[in-house]
Amino acid sequence: MSRDVRVINGLETMAVPGNGQAEVRPSYTKMVVGLVAQLKCFYTNACSMGNKQEELEAIVQQESYDVVAIMELWWDDLHDWSAALDVYKLFRRDRQRRRGGGVGGGALYVREGYECQELIEGNSRVECLWVRIRGRANKADIVMGVCYRPPNQNLEIDEIFYKQLGDISRSLALVLGGDFNLPDISWEHNTTEKEQFRSFLECVRDNFLTQLVREPTREGALLDLLLVNREGLAEDVTVGGCLGHRDHETIEFSILREARRGASRTATMDFWRADFGLFRNLLDRVPWAAVLKDKGAQEG
């Protein structure tokens, strides 16, 4: 039987295709000590950039951000200002016009000097932008994503987004920011009463994502999120301040990248190849009421 062999973080994993299982053996590398590189980042939902460009330019110049992510730009031909920022590469995703007006859209600015490229042309129904920032020297590549999820988005489009997110998160270090309009999720307990919101939480769990924003970002609700798929990938998350007089708070954070990797002799499972759908189906077949009947917490 053929085997797919990969080395991930110093561990050589051998996955048997198609059965959702993996066996793992350690792969040893030379131990080298290094520093941590940082990318200073800024995110906000602008609710139209029509009269905020000068303010944005002033903030970016003062703070010297490496990455700037903006959602809900509402760019159209009525505005005579330029979308570009000096010394930054611009990636943009314009929303197709919808009934009732508004053009929404998002942009990601990456400071010149970083080699980067857009990863997915994308489905026009999903307002997401994914940009791969290549590591300098021996530093790892990182994907920065920015997303806007309308409050009335249907499950079909949610599923397209989940597919994009899963494909990227399984292979690269990912930082994803955006306005997801999921106010009923308790991020402290990772729970929600709404069925559609539960699907989002399942996507977060299945892709081993962590949500880092803990403060409300709009009128007491936590709408703007920051998700990472690696522990310690982002830190110094700060919520506060608005672009213009809008009611969305800005988010500032740092992306960390280890400059060197060390040796590891710990064997671990390659969970990215696990079949979690099959796992859930198997658990659903267990008659838990009968199995746990008359058993206490310790026995269960």
Q: Does 81 lie in the same domain as 131?
A: yes
pLDDT tens digits, 154-198: 999 999 999 999 999 988 899 999 999 999 999 999 999 888 899
| 181 lies in some domain | yes
pTM of the model: 0.71
CATH number of the domain where residue 233 is located: 3.60.10.10
Angle among Cα 41, 130, 188 to the nearest 5 degrees reads: 60
Q: Does 75 lie in the same domain as 151?
A: yes
| 288 lies in some domain | no
Give the Cα separation of 135 and 257 in Å (integer). Answer: 9
Residue 35 has a pLDDT of 41
Structure tokens at 286: 């267990």
Mean pLDDT value across residues 48-71: 84
| Count of domains observed in the chain | 2
Q: Does 51 lie in the same domain as 10?
A: no
Instruction: Say yes or no to pLDDT of 80 above 90.
Output: no
Domain extent at residue 8: 4-32+263-282
Grade residue 13 by pLDDT with cuts at 50, 70 and 90: very low
| 291 lies in some domain | no
Q: According to the per-residue pLDDT averaged within each range, which of 30-44, 194-208, 237-251 is highest?
A: 194-208
Q: Does 87 lie in the same domain as 151?
A: yes
Residue 96 has a pLDDT of 57
Q: Please measure the distance between the N-terminal and C-terminal CA atoms of the chain and give it in whole angstroms.
A: 38
Q: Does 148 lie in the same domain as 178?
A: yes
Instruction: Say yes or no to pLDDT of 203 above 90.
Output: yes
Q: Does 152 lie in the same domain as 193?
A: yes
Q: Does 40 lie in the same domain as 28?
A: no
Q: Among 17-21, 40-44, 223-227, 235-239, which is the least confidently predicted range?
A: 17-21
Rg (CA), the chain: 21
236-to-40, 155, 212 alpha-carbon distances in Å: 10, 33, 10
Q: Does 273 lie in the same domain as 211?
A: no
